[in-house]
Structure 1
Amino acid sequence: MKAWRAETFGKPSDVLKLVDIDVPVPGPGEALLRVLATNIGLPDRMMLEGRYFLTPTPPVTPGQEVVGIVEVAGPGYPFPVGRRVISGVNFTAGSGGLAEYCLSSGDGAVTAADDMSDEQAASFLGTYHVAYVGLVNRARAKLGETLLVLGGTGGTGSTAIRLAKALGLNVIATVRDAKKAAFCREQGADHVIELGTGSMSEQVRALTGGKGADIVYDTVGSPLVEQALDAIAIGGRYVLIGFAGGSDFPKIEPFKILMHGISVTGALHSVRTPDERDEAITVLGRLFSEGKITVPIDRVVSFADVPEALERLGGGVNGKLVARVSHPGPGPL
């Protein structure tokens, strides 16, 4: 099968090569997927550059999230052959999603809704399911509360804005420049703060009558953590999502948690109870069918254009990039 792979770290367009490799064999709890579309995210670029903590050594096979057809189901995999599923993939073991076939773990896979396109489905798990875990399951968001989204134009940040509005929250988003502010407002943000135009915490408190944000949804990490801590309300919830602004998650000292009177939590779609997963599938499916949420897609690229798409990450993308790998229908191994 064809797969994109890098044998050394470096610039994506320099190190990423389209190679022929063996089709992986699923083990217990796994399935072989014929990949239809793959989400392309900043972690994929960080993998190739040697900055991602889960890929300490090459070779690198990027692509963390896919939508695909189950071709072979191993013992204990929850979905049958022929089912279209959304899944995280075992990229650390060489089965990244930027390939014609990959392995899906049954622990984190969900069925793709019939009314959801491949392009939407490819990014749905790592955006809306993560946002649901963060906002609903962990932060216990309440109607009318204020959410501060750090990094509002990224795929995770922009979908958090949309889900928050669907849940009845007030949303403040941060952006790096004025050009990105309009995009956040299109997603539903009530207010947008352009970083570098004054104190972020002072602006948040001004917008909340001095109280601060009830919930911080941090996709950026270290560069903004101190300002965000100054902007959060007493009793607020700080949700760790990613570290687009650095190479690792921010370090929040217990003393600061104590002095700010806040709680700190994390959100992963792969770390939740079966009941939480089933609730998210039901609620998010309904919101999508009603047109209240959708994944903002910057561009869909062909499988051949993956290296160029990876080069665009890191500031030049609003929403998600998706690679079309194959099309529905029979696909022999």
Structure 2
Amino acid sequence: MFKGRAWRVVRFGEPKDAAELQEVTWAEPSPGQALVRVRTAGAGLPDLMMTGGHFPLLGAPPFGLGEEAAGEVVAVAPGSRFSVGDQVTGVTAFLDGWGGYAEYAYVREISAIRIPDGLTDEQAGGFPVGFRTAYAGLVERAPVHPGQSLLILGAAGSSGATALQLGKALGATVIAVVGSREKADFCTRLGADHVVNHRTDDVTARVAGITGGRGVDVIYDPVGGETAATAVKSLARNGRIAMIGLASGSPVALDPMDMLLRNYSAVGVLAIPDDDPEAEAAVWSRLADLAKKGAITTPVGRVYGFDEVPRMITEQAAPGAGKSVVRVVG
């Protein structure tokens, strides 16, 4: 048994009212899980959805917060591929009520890796969810191929910035769509080939100019709403839009007749492991290899202290550039 503190949702509402720091006991991990002493945990918009009661995969409180975490393995189940003392990062058992904003966390072995060389604690804590989602979108669901064009909405955010890096690693020409000069500069530093500010630019005209009037092959959309509806106008014939999320508050509205006439498709993306552990292991191995080579790395933004979790969650409604990370151990 392990004892420590964990942030848990005790009621739905504003984060300062919904999240409570509690003393918790962790039992030995079940098969398929490893128990980690957490150093850092990645954050994002789903935290705000969870505290507000708008996250579709979770029921009523109480439950833990934090989808991903990095740290040292302190306990394993029989037959585990990890050992006590391993340094790992992975997706937590948050769907079972156990999150990563805690001194200990269960990570799902199928969605965990040993921390790749070169990643800092903060980069490791924010690595799993963003890059696994980007892989699901750009490799599994709406594949982008070398030489194709990829338009990323919310490209400076925690989802978009990982897709930007993975898209470049896959050989795509990346067009980053952002809403400020600060975020435009951030995406340029990450390697975007082109940056469009949707608040000051005519997105359709800019994309037409960049692509010679052809349009883009793939749209990566964690934003939805009017921003995504405008971007869809720039899809090339036979293009694809990968629907990742709805940071705007609503998913993109699609016109079936427009899809038919322009011959484009839309796919939903939810990066939950299927029933093939070997296939899932291959995905994580490829991501780890790209990280070791320096082709991808967590685009860390603001780092919060463990006692700042409620404020961090509130600020996910309008985060700055990069991935927010919570440092659990000072």
Q: What is the aligned-residue identity percentage?
A: 38
Q: Which secondary structure does the structure 1 equivalent of 2:39 belong to?
A: strand
Say whether 1:220 aligns with 2:204. no
Q: 1:290 to 1:89 in 2, by over 3 A?
A: closer
- For residue 242 of structure 2, the aligned residue among 220, 230, 239 is 239
Deviations 1:17-70 (A, max 9, x none): 211122244323222222221101111122112222223422242100111322
Q: Distance in 2 between matches of 1:21 and 1:86?
A: 21
Residue among 307, 310, 317 paired with 1:307: 310
Could you tell me how far apart the structure 2 residues matched to 1:212 and 1:111 are? Answer: 40
Is residue 259 of structure 2 the alignment partner of residue 264 of structure 1?
A: no
Cα offsets for 1:258-313 (capped at 9, x unmatched): 33312333444433654554444444334333333221111222212222222322
User: Is the 8 Å Cα contact of residues 29 and 107 (structure 1) preserved in structure 2?
Assistant: yes
Q: Which moved more, 1:142-151 or 1:278-287?
A: 278-287
How many angstroms apart in 1 are the aligned matches of 2:225 and 2:58?
A: 20
Label 1:280 to 1:119 Cα distance change in 2 as closer, same or farther (>3 A): same
Q: CA deviation at 1:320?
A: 0.8
Provide TM-score, normalisation by structure 1: 0.88
CA distance in 1: counterparts of 2:256 and 2:83, whole angstroms: 46
Structure 2: which amino acid aligns with 1:49? G
* Bigger shift: residues 227-236 or 101-110: 101-110
Aligned to 2:207: 204
Match of 1:188 in 2: 191
SS in 2 for 1:321: strand
The question of whether the paired residues in 2 share the 8 Å contact of 1:24 and 1:102 is answered with no
Contact kept in structure 2, 1:48 and 1:60, CA below 8 Å = no
> Is 1:155 aligned to 2:158, yes or no?
yes
Counterparts of 1:168-183 in structure 2 under 5 Å?
168-183=171-186
| 5+ residue gaps, structure 2 | none
What amino acid does structure 1 have at the position aligned with 2:219? V
Report how far residue 256 of structure 1 moved.
4.5
> Does residue 33 of structure 2 align to residue 30 of structure 1?
yes
TM-score norm. by structure 2 comes to: 0.88
Task: Kindly state the Cα deviation for residue 115 of structure 1 after the two structures are TM-superposed.
Answer: 3.2
Residue matched to 1:330? none
Q: What is the aligned partner in structure 2 of residue 78 from structure 1?
A: 81
Question: What is the 5 A alignment of 1:60-99?
Answer: 60-75=63-78, 77-99=80-102
- Residues 117 and 196 of structure 1, relative CA distance in 2, 3 Å threshold: closer
Stretches of structure 1 lacking an aligned partner (at least 5 in a row): 328-333
Deviation at 1:157, TM superposition (A): 0.4
Q: CA deviation at 1:251?
A: 5.5
Moved more, 30-39 or 278-287: 278-287
The 1-side partners of 2:279 and 2:218 are apart by 20
Aligned alpha-carbon RMSD (Å): 2.4
How far apart in 1 are the matches of 2:32 and 2:208? 48
